[in-house]
Chains A and B, each alone.
Chain A
Amino acid sequence: MRRTIAALVENKPGVLARVAGLFRRRGFNIESLAVGVTERDDISRMTIVVSGDDKTIEQVIKQLNKLIEVLKVSDLSENSVERELALIKVTATPQTRGEIIEIANIFRGRIVDVARDSLIIEITGDEDKINAFINLMRQYGIKEVSRTGKIAMQRGSKSME
């Protein structure tokens, strides 16, 4: 089973290494990891997608909480908004360019770079949407994909802090 966990951590060097090291050492499997600063520049937020059974996830949360620089850990697997951003560079000939732009529009993607024989498309959404879009782009020839990893937030007025 896959779960999405968010952790508020002190924004200090080495914290990412501590978290990543903990996952490796305890044999937890990270599927994606996204880090960014919060509204406070001394606190970062990590969103970690991890696979494992309930017992494993419980240990993940407890072990994360033991790290001194981890301030708060939440399980965001249910009732939360989840998003990912991807940049996709696709081969685009004069014949296919229109078609690609049309598909990108359907997915509410944006064309952020145009070259003689390629396009970069920026797309956001949940993982399924991005996977579906990438699959559709395969026929034109994908040159490069860069994904941010998932970020998530609980719905409703409650906040993590």
Chain B
Amino acid sequence: MLNHSEVGGFMRVADAIIKALEYEGVKHIFGIPGGAILEVYDALYDSNITHILTRHEQAAVHAADGYARATGRTGVAFATSGPGATNTVTGIANAYMDSSPIVVITGQVSRRLIGNDAFQEADVTGITMPITKHNYLVTNERDILRIIKEAFYIASTGRPGPVLIDIPRDVTMADIEFDYPEKVNLPGYKPKYTGHPRQIKRATELIMDAERPIILAGGGVIISNASEELTKLAETIPAYVVTSLMGKGAIPETHPLSLGFIGMHGSKYANYAVQESDLIIAVGVRFSDRTTGRFSDFAPNAKIIHIDIDPAEIGKNVRVDVPIVGDAKLVLRELLKHINYKRRKEWEEKVEGLRRAYPLKYKRDGKLKPQFVIEKICELAPDAIITTEVGQNQMWAAQFFKVKYPRQFISSGGLGTMGFGFPAAIGAKVAFPDRLVIDMAGDGSFFMNIQELATCVSYGINVKVAVLNNGYLGMVRQWQELFYKERYSATCLAYKEICIEKIAKGFGAVGMTVEKSSEVEDALKEAFEIDAPVVIDFRVDILEKVYPMVPPGAALHEIIDEEV
């Protein structure tokens, strides 16, 4: 960390930007240069910050997002103006929906050209307004340091989210005095961290009175680093814990009180338990439709305590009896002071009965099953950081990989972005080069950012990609089979013709193909051993579907299953 007294004096804005990023503790930046941001890249050349050149700006933002989720620190991405900046949009929207702290810095055309339809000009602050927590167009070079300070503060505090700074080229070339602010002054932004004592007291009473309590943990528990407190609360009450997809890792899924995730593809026993509970203690969860099923029939007999740092989430989708606005960790600590252990034997027997009666299962008919691949990965690499793509691969990963610790499971929950998992894995691997990082992919999703194999190879970012290849946009195909009379409109991908193994090799990575269940274990072991990026093409059963399933618009207890 530099000392203020050492760094006074005038300098180019581009140099000041890089210096400011160093002040913020930035170690890695993901991005692609271009005309409008050239000056900043020139300044970066002298910095100790490591820049990872991705092959698409969307991947740069996903990588920064994955980096942020894996570490809890703010991820940073760079892009140039126009198409560079518009390519970041999906990545930004993805980070926004899952409350991931990232700062995106984009080049813009010079001030005198703005509004002129100049070459590579796009209204990037206008475009990203609804998908950023906040954004800035720097119109005066004297504002740049204050804006960078504010951007990192806003991105990482309260309910985190993406912040974009759009900087015109001529601003980056101007000279300013480097005087980095120590504090922010944001009168309109004051996140509330401690819960209201009266609401905490009411919550305590509800918890002590409850006979069938369930904790519903969301991504907020992970973000707030509150999993220890959450697990302690579960043990103290005691209460079973279910999570949203984003909440996986809030409690070790190997813990006897964990019931895994609920929602559209959660287990039957977890969904049934929620519907039978008399109290839901919801922590850092936003009650998305994929988690709750039909809003009006969610946990119909339960009172709901909702703890969330964002007041706008409380009462948005479901009725709430006790609202607590605050940081999950602080509120849970406060609750822990007042809760006493009270065994609820009948409820325990009921839930354990559900667990025994409705286990997660799949058909073992000799074909290579995607669930089997996930089970094997979980068995051989239980501590690996797992990212997922979106679709069937994501749901099978969520069902069959037992997450042991927070930030282990990284997935695009809110936006459901196919193509997220691979660059997110790159981000996680850059943050933790000594850890095993595995992207659980489908063929459809993997192809959406497959160009990042080049990034992995050129920087030696040795992530492993397990492609559950069924030759289809599998989840869409599943819906067509179930709800559209098997009319497979535009879901069939070339299966026979494409050789993923060769593609991987073409990029200079290691490619493997696995067709039989008996080969899975050896292939995985080999892949985990090799000191290189590895893509394994698992040619899985094309017809396999994700079950159980709450049909769209149905309540959680209306979950359907297939005969096994």
Contact = CB atoms under 8 A, between A and B. Distances in A.
B459 interface: no
A22 B134 CA distance: 12
Contacts of A66: 310, 312
A14 B137 contact: yes
A68 B312 contact: no
Contacts of A22: 130
Contacts of B133: 68
B125 A21 contact: no
B122 to A, nearest CB: 16
Given A18-B129, A59-B312, 10 more contacts: A9-B188, A13-B139, A14-B125, A17-B126, A59-B316, A62-B311, A65-B312, A66-B312, A68-B188, A70-B188
11 contacts: A9-B188, A13-B139, A55-B315, A59-B312, A62-B311, A65-B311, A66-B312, A67-B188, A68-B133, A68-B134, A68-B189
A7 to B, nearest CB: 10
B463 to A, nearest CB: 35
B115 interface: no
A18 B130 CA distance: 8
Interface in B304-319: 310-312, 315-316
A131 interface: no
Q: Which 5 A-B pairs have the closest CB atoms?
A: A62-B312, A71-B188, A68-B134, A68-B189, A25-B130
B151 to A, nearest CB: 11
Interface in A116-158: none
B125 A68 contact: no
Nearest to A24: B130
A10 interface: yes
A130 B126 CA distance: 36
A13 B123 CA distance: 14
A58 interface: yes
Nearest to A18: B129
A68 B154 contact: yes
A53 to B, nearest CB: 13
Interface in A23-80: 25, 55, 58-59, 62-63, 65-71
Contacts of B139: 13
A72 to B, nearest CB: 8
Contacts of A10: 188
Nearest to B126: A17
A14 B137 CA distance: 10
- Residue in B134, B137, B154 whose Cβ sees the most chain A Cβ within 10 Å: B134
A21 B312 contact: no
A68 B186 contact: yes
> Is chain A's binding surface mostly helix, strand, loop or mixed?
helix
Given A14-B125, A62-B311, A69 B137 contact: no
A134 to B, nearest CB: 36
Contacts of B134: 68
B256 interface: no
A103 to B, nearest CB: 45
Nearest to A66: B312
Interface of A: 9-10, 13-14, 17-18, 21-22, 25, 55, 58-59, 62-63, 65-71
B536 to A, nearest CB: 41
Nearest to B313: A62
Interface of B: 125-126, 129-130, 133-134, 137, 139, 154, 186-189, 310-312, 315-316
Contacts of A69: 188
A16 B134 CA distance: 14
Contacts of B186: 68
Contacts of A68: 133-134, 154, 186, 188-189
B309 to A, nearest CB: 11
A114 B375 CA distance: 85
- Residue in B129, B186, B189, B312 whose Cβ sees the most chain A Cβ within 10 Å: B312
Contacts of B130: 21-22, 25
A69 B187 CA distance: 8
Nearest to A62: B312
B58 to A, nearest CB: 22
A27 to B, nearest CB: 12
B71 to A, nearest CB: 25
A17 B134 CA distance: 13
Given A59-B316, A62-B312, A21 B129 contact: yes
Contacts of A9: 188
B232 to A, nearest CB: 31
Contacts of A67: 188
Nearest to B189: A68
Contacts of B316: 59
A21 to B, nearest CB: 5
A58 B310 contact: no
- Residue in B187, B188, B311 whose Cβ sees the most chain A Cβ within 10 Å: B188
A59 B134 CA distance: 19
Nearest to A69: B188
A75 to B, nearest CB: 15
A13 B139 CA distance: 10
B388 to A, nearest CB: 28
A58 B315 contact: yes
A69 B129 CA distance: 13
A63 B125 contact: no
A68 to B, nearest CB: 5
A13 B316 CA distance: 30
Contacts of A65: 311-312
Contacts of B187: 71
A38 B468 CA distance: 60
- Residue in A18, A58, A67, A68 whose Cβ sees the most chain B Cβ within 10 Å: A68
Contacts of A59: 312, 316
A18 B132 CA distance: 11
B138 to A, nearest CB: 12
Nearest to A64: B312
Nearest to A15: B188
B306 to A, nearest CB: 13
A63 B125 CA distance: 19
Contacts of A18: 129
B312 A63 contact: yes
A10 B187 CA distance: 9
A69 to B, nearest CB: 6
Nearest to B314: A62
Nearest to B130: A25
